Amino acid sequence: MFGTSGVRGPVGETVTGPVAIGLGRALGSMAGRIVVGRDARPGGDALARAAIAGAQEAGTEVVDVGIESTPTVARAVEWYDAEAGLVVTGSHNPPEDNGFKFWTRRGHAFGPHLNRMLVQGAAASDPPTVDPGAMGTVRAVEDAAERHLQRLPEADLGDRSVVVDVGHGTGRLTADALREMGCSVTTVDPHHGDAAAGRPTADSCAVLSQVVVDTDADLGIAHDADADRTLAVDETGAFVSGDELLALFAIEMVPADARVAATINASSVVDAVVEQLGGSVVRTAVGDGPVGAACLADDVVFGGDPSGAWIWPDEALSPDGHYAACRLTEIVASGSPLSERVAALPDLITHRESVACDDPAAARSHVETQVRERHDAVTDVDGVRADLDGGWFLVRESGTEPLLRLTAEARTADRAAEIRTEARELVRDALRATRDGADPDGERRNENVPTANES
């Protein structure tokens, strides 16, 4: 039921009212008070009400914050003296999907152990319910966003101009925070009417890029539908990849001997810049949960996933898109334009794509067997990664969709193409060997994300 980031799937199939009630009951049996919120995705209200009802049946008090960003809900667990949190969100999944994410008191995503407890509780033949007189109460609050705003940076950035893609509404807190910091802010919502806008990409940021150029802004900020992810475009309108942002944030955070947590699929650009500063990188499985877990270590000062999830452990153990937007604007305001900072990063060529797959786990397992027969430097933190002469590739199963994710990287375009070809052949062989039925040439979705100066 759980992927890399909570529960997600088609409404009416994987995500249903009974599932919401069961998960609410299970969470309620684990906590005396919980915080519940949701993004603006259609159907979210019904699913949130069902989860709340389940928690009440378990005797739990519910603090309902309504429609708020995921980072606001995660932080609100501590603010309202709760023991856990639940947010109804499909994040960047397709419009027909929705889902649930769960948070600890410290604002960290539930890990495998707690997720298993939720699944067991939701599937119990004897649900954890209480007598009618002991059912939990619901308290609606309206100050969660204001509390969050008070926790964001307060530096005076002068007359900086920023354009914010508010991700169908939940990203508006970023605009408020930047205005509090003295910035001139223009908001856009190119996905208006579609609360299931996906993760920010170069294509989805086309409107944002144009507005940045037209208004002569210093940068543009892009959020996904629940505002836990943040990506950007520079002052020329060029999209800044998550790999590049990961490196730029790390440069600002890493003293000697400190570590940065980065997912296994992140570009080696972050290794290069962090090692140059005397620090090191610890690799994690993909997803903000594993990154947040790594950030519990005292010497980890920052963590990130190139999908746009950034964690500053001194501030929060979950990705906060609003905080990240403020920090990035501070970085730009402190000196060189964003385009110049990106241009100064090491040059690496990174290719990413996804392949539809009926049984991603079986296909990935087949790939791993073949990779271990061919190569010595193999890592299985998440999927299978082979480090080669001059580059590397990774094949892993998606934690949110029936896909295999493929990443290939090298110092030159020719070597990157060679490595990508090898990874594609391994995936093609795996699809055939597992009788997946997918067309390995026709089902591929290109997700190239330029790194550094790649065009």
Whether residue 275 lies inside any domain: the answer is yes
Whether residue 384 lies inside any domain: the answer is yes
Total number of residues shown for the chain: 455
Whether residue 452 lies inside any domain: the answer is no
Instruction: Please state which of the ranges 6-15, 156-165, 220-229, 358-367 shows the lowest mean pLDDT.
Output: 6-15
Question: What does the alpha-carbon distance between residue 348 and residue 34 come to, in Å, rounded to a whole number?
Answer: 45
Whether residue 453 lies inside any domain: the answer is no
Question: What does the alpha-carbon distance between residue 382 and residue 379 come to, in Å, rounded to a whole number?
Answer: 8
CB 60 within 8 A of CB 51: no
Q: What is the pLDDT of residue 434?
A: 86
Q: Is the same domain home to 360 and 312?
A: no
- Segment 203-229 shows an average pLDDT of 94
- Segment 352-376 shows an average pLDDT of 94
What's the mean per-residue pLDDT of the chain?
90
**Residue 142, Cβ neighbours under 10 Å: how many?**
9
Whether residue 335 lies inside any domain: the answer is yes
Q: What is the pLDDT of residue 385?
A: 98
Q: Which of 97, 102, 140 is nearest to 23 (CA)?
A: 102
User: pLDDT-based confidence at 199, cuts 50/70/90?
Assistant: confident
Q: Is the same domain home to 132 and 176?
A: no
User: pLDDT-based confidence at 97, cuts 50/70/90?
Assistant: confident
Q: What is the pLDDT of residue 442?
A: 43
pLDDT in tens, 229-269: 999 999 999 999 999 999 999 999 988 889 999 999 999 99
Q: Is the same domain home to 116 and 158?
A: no
- Which structural domain range is residue 23 located in? 2-147
Q: Is the same domain home to 266 and 197?
A: yes
Q: Is the same domain home to 183 and 317?
A: yes
Whether residue 45 lies inside any domain: the answer is yes
Q: Which of 343, 330, 71, 322 is nearest to 219 (CA)?
A: 330
Question: What does the alpha-carbon distance between residue 288 and residue 4 come to, in Å, rounded to a whole number?
Answer: 8
Task: Tell me which of 4 and 25 has the higher pLDDT.
Answer: 25
Question: What does the alpha-carbon distance between residue 391 and residue 422 come to, in Å, rounded to a whole number?
Answer: 12
- Segment 37-66 shows an average pLDDT of 95
Domain ends where: 98, 121, 147? 147
Question: What does the alpha-carbon distance between residue 133 and residue 285 come to, in Å, rounded to a whole number?
Answer: 44
User: pLDDT-based confidence at 329, cuts 50/70/90?
Assistant: very high
**b/e for 185-222, b at 16 or more Cβ within 10 A?**
bbebbbbeeebbbbbbbbebbebbbbbbbeeebbbbbb
pLDDT in tens, 62-75: 999 999 999 999 99
Q: What is the pLDDT of residue 127?
A: 82
Residue 344 has pLDDT above 50, yes or no: yes
Show contacts of 366-375: CB within 8 Å, 24+ apart.
366/429, 366/430, 366/433, 366/434, 367/395, 367/404, 367/426, 367/427, 367/429, 367/430, 368/395, 370/426, 370/429, 370/430, 371/395, 371/426
One-letter amino acid at 40 equals A
pLDDT in tens, 217-232: 999 999 988 999 999 9
**b/e for 373-404, b at 16 or more Cβ within 10 A?**
eebeeeeebbbbbbebeebbbbbbbbbbbebb
Residue 309 has pLDDT above 80, yes or no: yes
- Segment 113-126 shows an average pLDDT of 87
- Segment 409-414 shows an average pLDDT of 96
User: pLDDT-based confidence at 455, cuts 50/70/90?
Assistant: very low
- Segment 167-186 shows an average pLDDT of 91
Q: Is the same domain home to 318 and 334?
A: yes
Q: What is the pLDDT of residue 3?
A: 64
Question: What does the alpha-carbon distance between residue 39 and residue 66 come to, in Å, rounded to a whole number?
Answer: 8
Q: Is the same domain home to 196 and 283?
A: yes
Domain ends where: 87, 120, 147? 147
Q: Please confirm, yes or no, whether 91 is among the known catalytic residues.
A: yes
Question: The domain that contains 15 carries what CATH number?
Answer: 3.40.120.10
Q: Is the same domain home to 14 and 104?
A: yes
**Residue 245, Cβ neighbours under 10 Å: how many?**
23
Question: What does the alpha-carbon distance between residue 449 and residue 439 come to, in Å, rounded to a whole number?
Answer: 24
Whether residue 357 lies inside any domain: the answer is yes
Whether residue 427 lies inside any domain: the answer is yes
Query: Partners of 303 in the beta sheet?
Result: 261, 311
Catalytic residue among 91, 267, 268, 318: 91
Residue 92 has pLDDT above 80, yes or no: no
Cross-sheet strand order for the sheet of 184-188: 184-188, 161-165, 219-223, 230-233, 239-240
Q: Is the same domain home to 373 and 329?
A: no
Q: Is the same domain home to 192 and 337?
A: yes
Question: What does the alpha-carbon distance between residue 356 and residue 334 come to, in Å, rounded to a whole number?
Answer: 43
CB 313 within 8 A of CB 301: yes
Q: What is the pLDDT of residue 447?
A: 54
Task: Tell me which of 213 and 402 has the higher pLDDT.
Answer: 213
pLDDT above 70 covers a percentage of the chain that reads 92
Q: Is the same domain home to 198 and 318?
A: yes
Residue 441 has pLDDT above 90, yes or no: no
Q: Is the same domain home to 156 and 143?
A: no
Question: The domain that contains 416 carries what CATH number?
Answer: 3.30.310.50
Q: What is the pLDDT of residue 227?
A: 92
Domain ends where: 82, 115, 147? 147
One-letter amino acid at 419 equals I
Residue 440 has pLDDT above 50, yes or no: no
Question: Domain tally for the chain?
Answer: 3
